[in-house]
Amino acid sequence: MTTAQLDKMRLELRRGVLVLAVLASLKQPHYGYSLRKQLQDGGIDIDEGTLYPLIRRLADQELLDSEWRQAEGRERRYYQLSELGTSLLGQLTDEWQHLNTSLASLLATKTQETP
């Protein structure tokens, strides 16, 4: 497998998980850069070109509330989970844990079977 193929598959694998990571991080209010920093600190590296449009999309879907605030002499748009977003995050978390358990079991089986 070429590096390009691997990169493409990694990107596909991460795409769905990023939504979950962003929603989970926005239990507390964050502005764009601070959210990115929090995700990076948590081990999820995401570039600005992906993160900022993603937050806006989630806000358009009413999963996030947002407001402009003045801080450190500059305005920033803060995002936080909405009621709908909180409910969805709960469901997605259950789904993720279920998937993770199933996948862990599958991956373990595969490892044992490999000579």
Partner 1 sequence: MELVKRYIAAVQRELPQAKQQEIGRELKANIMDQIDALTEQKGQLNEDDISTLLVNMGHPRQVAWQFVPPQPLIQTSSMPLYKNTLFMVLGILFLLQTVETTTAWLSSFDMGLIGFLHGLASGFIESACFGFTAITLAFVFTGSTRLDEQASRCNNWQPKDLPKAEPGWQYIDMSDIFTDLATYLFLLLVIWYPLWFIAESQAASSSLLSDNARLILQWASPVIVLGLVNSLWQLRVRIWSKALLIANILLNLTAMLIVLYLANSSPLLGVTPEQWQGVFSHAQVEHSAMVSLFIIALFPAWEVLRDSLRLRKL
Under 8 Å between Cβ of 51 and 83: no
Between CA 96 and CA 101, with CA 99 as vertex, the angle to 5 degrees is: 110
Closest distance to partner 1 from the beta carbon of 40 (Å): 11
Query: Is 14 a residue that touches partner 1 (CB under 8 A)?
Result: no
Q: Is 114 left (phi over 0), alpha (psi -120 to 50) or beta?
A: beta
Query: Is 50 a residue that touches partner 1 (CB under 8 A)?
Result: yes
Among 34, 38, 80, 86, which residue interacts with partner 1 (rule: CB under 8 A)? Answer: 34
CB-based burial label for 20 (10 Å; 0-12, 13-18, 19+):
middle
Structure tokens, 55: 């937050």
Instruction: Identify which range of 9-17, 72-80, 87-95, 104-112 contacts partner 1 by CB under 8 A.
Output: 72-80
Among 14, 19, 46, 56, which residue interacts with partner 1 (rule: CB under 8 A)? Answer: 56
Contact residues for partner 1, defined by CB under 8 A: 31-34, 37, 47-50, 52-53, 56, 74-77
